[in-house]
């Protein structure tokens, strides 16, 4: 059989379709609940999918990833609160549209352009994944692989950190965690303190459920207060007319291109793409003054761009082994447990997986679009689920999910400890993304550094260290230095991570003013959360 | 579970739009803890037992931890100097802690820790019967968590823990054969 038929054949298993449906439901739910990110959901689901066949497990995780990109638009538009960080830019025009009585239209356009964005990105994945992997396999030896890991961690630090020093510390902390256990080259034990459970290192799933699940939950427990914002009740008409669809074309093209490009950058996710896409579309629009005031072009731009990152993110993850975003970091952890190691050799060993992954995401996108167009009214009620049920449910599932990975209570304890560490890091503005990336990629970095250093004395320097490695290392340095300089030039009170500083201050204050005036003019709901408040959630840039 | 159940919520200490306040002592404490941990990691790195010394050109099990430990100490030191000499960085992007938030977290951690300890007992023998402990303590954990999170109506406090425990026990314990 050829890889295409193998890949399609794996999808014909009825259980795969069942797992896609499970992922669809979970993805929508987590997307619709503000505060539960796709990363948290995928981390949690990873604990339960480890016993499944790889394609079945991928069906659950990838579908959550896709469906969360649809579900998270609902609270963004109706409550002005992003369901996940990827829909931050949706609030800019989605909420004003809802306030003007056009919530149904905003939800429909959002779902359609999100589907277009994901489908376009899937074409990119299907076309680019194998050539990128082949290129990496042919030209990436140990020095290049070491440089690639350093670049991956550095760009995650550069994008997600407000303070570069804290970001570097987070990356170093992750790399340190990666040294716990047995050193593969010599079988020496490091930092195990005689504990049998640490001989193979920290359980990756326990760490990510702790850092992304428990820490997120604890942060909500710390900061939760009753919101005065009530969902918009007047949804208006649903279907856009021909003129409205025509308005979306330019924004669709510009922001789609932005999303595809941003998706290919490791660590840059839908939140960054959504804001950049919105900003670029506004610059080329014939009516830039309408952006932020309920513009159809605006919501098209934000949602196309954030959704179009999925394929690019998947490409860098699968073809290079460098997670495109934090959901993909979790995915890599699960795949390693299944015996599949993402990286340059993956698609030469398992070319059928490109077909299976594309197929799963295609089906998930179509089903999510279908569900988006029929379920909106019911989804609004989910926002009213009492928090005590939600929180206690999340905690017990985090515990059981972690336990199921190893049937060991030590692992559950590890999860709890990393949950506490995670919330402390979060409160100190230390991003969790570099920690996870360091833990995941640390052993790979060490192994390739060791090989490179072993070869160096035997051959001329530039025979060993190629221009590719040097360029990657230079890019790694720039990834940290450029944001640091940019932040240093801003006043102390206005320093922010990349995702928080894409829109300039004038634009942000203008949008806040517009949103405030909408509240005064058309009180369809209660108070409005300011744009600056929604921007605060971008600390999950790793999403 | 109904949306009409009573949920006790804490009055906010800050208004919606306020953010956490910047704090120099907090930044200094963070830098000191980071420095201590990095120094501890570096010291323990020098103590790693090597079964055999590295051959020429090779790196041993200590090399990478020492590199990382040195980076950690250096960065922590710079952070400490900045924390002491410069104004504390803004915490505008961090939501303020609400009244009751810290006790909620502490009680959640304590309840979960107690749950893990009790779960490790696996089963107890009472009245001549072997009683599996997981379903009992899982239901109690859910009940405690609901109380901590502000749930007060007895229907919610009884039905939800029992239903969740039954769901988890049937799905994971019986169908997926996870040894709970």
Using one digit for the tens of pLDDT, what is the confidence trace for A197-250?
999 999 888 998 899 889 989 998 998 877 666 666 677 788 888 888 888 899
Nearest Cα residue to B78 out of B30, B18, B142: B30
**Pick from B48, B95, B98: which is nearest to A188 by CB?**
B48
Nearest Cα residue to A166 out of A480, A494, A443, A440: A480
Alpha-carbon distances of A436 from A178, A181, A433, A475, B76, rounded to whole Å: 9, 16, 5, 21, 19
Q: How far is B124 from chain A (nearest CA, A)?
A: 17
Interface contact flag, A400 B168, Cβ < 8 Å: yes
Say what percent of chain A tops pLDDT 90: 37
Q: What value does the mean pLDDT take over residues B161-172?
A: 89
> What is the number of CB-based contacts under 8 A between chain A and chain B?
208
Residues from chain A that touch B162, judged by Cβ atoms under 8 A, are none
Give the integer Cα–Cα distance in Å for B75 and A499: 24
Residues from chain B that touch A529, judged by Cβ atoms under 8 A, are 16
**Pick from A185, A222, A493: which is nearest to B97 by CB?**
A222
Interface contact flag, B68 A527, Cβ < 8 Å: no
Give the integer Cα–Cα distance in Å for A284 and A345: 41
Residue that the structure tokens 């932005």 belong to: A258
Using one digit for the tens of pLDDT, what is the confidence trace for A348-386?
788 888 889 999 999 999 999 998 887 666 666 666 778
Using one digit for the tens of pLDDT, what is the confidence trace for A431-482?
888 998 899 889 989 999 999 988 888 888 888 888 999 999 999 999 999 8
pLDDT surpassing 90 at residue B54:
no
Find the closest chain A residue to B44 by CA distance.
Answer: A191
Interface contact flag, A186 B60, Cβ < 8 Å: yes
Q: How confident is the model at residue B82 (pLDDT cuts 50, 70, 90)?
A: very high
pLDDT surpassing 60 at residue A535:
no
Secondary structure (3-state) at A315: helix
Give the integer Cα–Cα distance in Å for A509 and A531: 8
List of residues 6+ apart from A378 with CB closer than 8 A: none
**pLDDT reported for residue A538:** 41
Find the closest chain A residue to B73 by CA distance.
Answer: A169
**Pick from A162, A223, A529: which is nearest to B101 by CB?**
A223
Q: Which long-range contacts (CB under 8 A, 24 or more apart) does B124-130 make?
A: none
Residues from chain A that touch B63, judged by Cβ atoms under 8 A, are 450
List of residues 6+ apart from A481 with CB closer than 8 A: none
**pLDDT reported for residue A100:** 87
Residue A512 phi/psi, 5-degree rounding, is -60, -40
Q: What value does the mean pLDDT take over residues B166-177?
A: 82
pLDDT surpassing 70 at residue A522:
no
Nearest Cα residue to A540 out of A393, A390, A327: A327
The tokens describing A158, both together, are: 């550069």
Give the integer Cα–Cα distance in Å for A449 and A451: 5
Using one digit for the tens of pLDDT, what is the confidence trace for A404-433?
888 899 999 999 999 999 999 999 989 888
Torsion of CA A158, A212, A112, A271, to 10 degrees: -20
Mutation site for B-interface testing, chosen from A386, A422, A435, A534 by largest number of B Cβ within 10 Å: A386
Q: What value does the mean pLDDT take over residues B21-28?
A: 87
Secondary structure (3-state) at A371: helix
Q: How far is A287 from chain B (nearest CA, A)?
A: 31
Residue that the structure tokens 């959360």 belong to: A529
**Pick from B17, B57, B120: which is nearest to A457 by CB?**
B57
Give the integer Cα–Cα distance in Å for B75 and B38: 9
What's the burial of A462, exposed, middle or buried (CB within 10 Å: 0-12/13-18/19+)? Answer: exposed
Mutation site for B-interface testing, chosen from A169, A226, A454 by largest number of B Cβ within 10 Å: A169
- Is the separation of the CB atoms in A180 and A202 below 8 Å? yes
Give the integer Cα–Cα distance in Å for A68 and A76: 13
CB atoms within 10 A of CB B58: 14
**pLDDT reported for residue B2:** 34
Residue B7 DSSP class: B
Residue B126 phi/psi, 5-degree rounding, is -140, 140
Q: How far is A115 from chain B (nearest CA, A)?
A: 31
Nearest Cα residue to A357 out of A197, A178, A133, A129: A129
Mutation site for A-interface testing, chosen from B72, B86, B94 by largest number of A Cβ within 10 Å: B94
- Is the separation of the CB atoms in A333 and A204 below 8 Å? yes
Do the strands A188-190 and A181-183 form a parallel or antiparallel pair, or are they unpaired?
Answer: antiparallel
**pLDDT reported for residue A252:** 93
Using one digit for the tens of pLDDT, what is the confidence trace for A74-119?
888 887 878 788 888 999 999 899 888 888 899 999 999 999 999 9
Find the closest chain B residue to A423 by CA distance.
Answer: B105
């Amino acid at each position: 059989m050829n890889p295409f038929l193998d890949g399609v054949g794996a999808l014909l298993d009825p259980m795969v379709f069942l797992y896609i449906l499970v992922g669809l439901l979970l993805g929508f739910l987590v997307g619709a609940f503000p505060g539960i990110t796709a990363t948290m959901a995928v981390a949690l689901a990873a604990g339960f999918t480890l016993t499944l066949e790889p394609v079945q497990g991928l069906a659950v995780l990838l579908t959550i990833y896709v469906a969360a990109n649809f579900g998270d638009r609902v609270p963004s538009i109706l409550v002005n609160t992003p369901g996940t960080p990827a829909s931050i830019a949706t609030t800019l025009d989605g909420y004003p549209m809802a306030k003007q009585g056009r919530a149904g239209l905003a939800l429909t356009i959002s779902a359609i352009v999100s589907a277009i964005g994901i489908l376009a990105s899937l074409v990119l994945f299907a076309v680019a994944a194998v050539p990128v992997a082949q290129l990496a396999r042919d030209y990436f030896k140990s020095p290049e692989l070491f440089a690639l890991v350093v670049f991956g961690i550095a760009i995650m630090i550069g994008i997600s950190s407000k303070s570069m020093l804290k970001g570097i510390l987070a990356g170093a902390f992750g790399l340190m965690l990666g040294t716990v256990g047995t050193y593969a080259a010599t079988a020496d034990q490091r930092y195990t303190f005689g504990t049998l459970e640490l001989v193979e290192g920290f359980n990756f799933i326990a760490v990510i459920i702790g850092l992304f699940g428990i820490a997120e939950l604890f942060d909500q427990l710390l900061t939760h207060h009753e919101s005065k914002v009530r969902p918009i009740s007047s949804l208006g008409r649903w279907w856009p007319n021909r003129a409205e669809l025509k308005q979306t074309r330019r924004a669709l093209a510009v922001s789609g291109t932005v999303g595809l490009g941003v998706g290919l950058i490791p660590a840059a996710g839908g939140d960054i793409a959504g804001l950049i896409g919105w900003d670029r579309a506004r610059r080329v629009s014939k009516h830039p003054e309408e952006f932020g005031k309920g513009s159809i072009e605006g919501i098209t731009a934000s949602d196309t761009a954030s959704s179009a990152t999925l394929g690019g993110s998947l490409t860098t993850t699968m073809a290079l082994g460098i997670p495109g975003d934090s959901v993909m970091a979790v995915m890599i952890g699960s795949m390693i447990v299944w015996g599949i190691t993402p990286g340059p050799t993956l698609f030469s060993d398992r070319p059928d997986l490109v077909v299976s992954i594309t197929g799963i995401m295609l089906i998930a996108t179509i089903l999510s679009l279908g569900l988006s167009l029929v379920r909106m009214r019911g989804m609004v009620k989910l926002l009213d689920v009492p928090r005590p049920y939600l929180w206690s449910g999340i905690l017990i599932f985090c515990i059981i999910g972690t336990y199921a990975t190893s049937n060991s209570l030590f692992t559950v304890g590890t999860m709890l400890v990393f949950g506490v560490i995670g919330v402390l890091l979060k409160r100190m503005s230390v991003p969790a993304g570099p920690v996870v990336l360091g833990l995941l990629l640390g052993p790979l970095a060490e192994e390739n550094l060791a090989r490179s250093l072993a070869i160096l004395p035997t051959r001329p320097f530039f025979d060993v260290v190629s221009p590719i490695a040097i360029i990657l290392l230079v890019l790694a340095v720039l990834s940290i230095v450029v944001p640091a300089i940019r932040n240093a030039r801003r006043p102390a009170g206005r320093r922010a991570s990349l995702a928080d500083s894409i829109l300039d201050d004038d634009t942000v204050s203008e949008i806040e003013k517009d949103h405030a005036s909408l509240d005064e003019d058309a009180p369809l709901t209660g108070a409005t959360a300011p744009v600056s408040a929604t921007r605060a959630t971008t600390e999950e840039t790793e999403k | 579970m109904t949306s009409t159940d009573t949920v006790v919520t804490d009055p906010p200490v800050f208004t919606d739009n306020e953010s956490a306040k910047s704090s120099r002592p907090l930044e200094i404490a963070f830098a000191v803890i980071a420095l201590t941990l990095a120094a501890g990691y570096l010291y323990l790195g020098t103590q790693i037992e090597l079964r055999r010394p590295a051959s020429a050109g090779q790196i041993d099990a200590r090399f990478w931890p020492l590199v990382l430990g040195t980076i950690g100490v250096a960065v922590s030191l710079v952070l400490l100097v900045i924390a002491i000499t410069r104004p504390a960085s803004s915490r505008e992007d961090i939501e303020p802690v609400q009244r009751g938030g810290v006790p909620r977290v502490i009680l959640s951690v304590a309840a979960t820790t107690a749950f893990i300890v009790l779960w490790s007992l696996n089963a107890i023998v009472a009245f001549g019967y072997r009683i599996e402990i997981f379903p009992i303590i899982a239901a109690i954990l859910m009940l405690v968590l609901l109380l901590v999170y502000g749930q007060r109506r007895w229907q919610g406090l009884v039905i939800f823990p029992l239903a969740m425990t039954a769901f988890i026990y049937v799905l994971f314990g019986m169908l997926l054969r996870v040894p709970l």
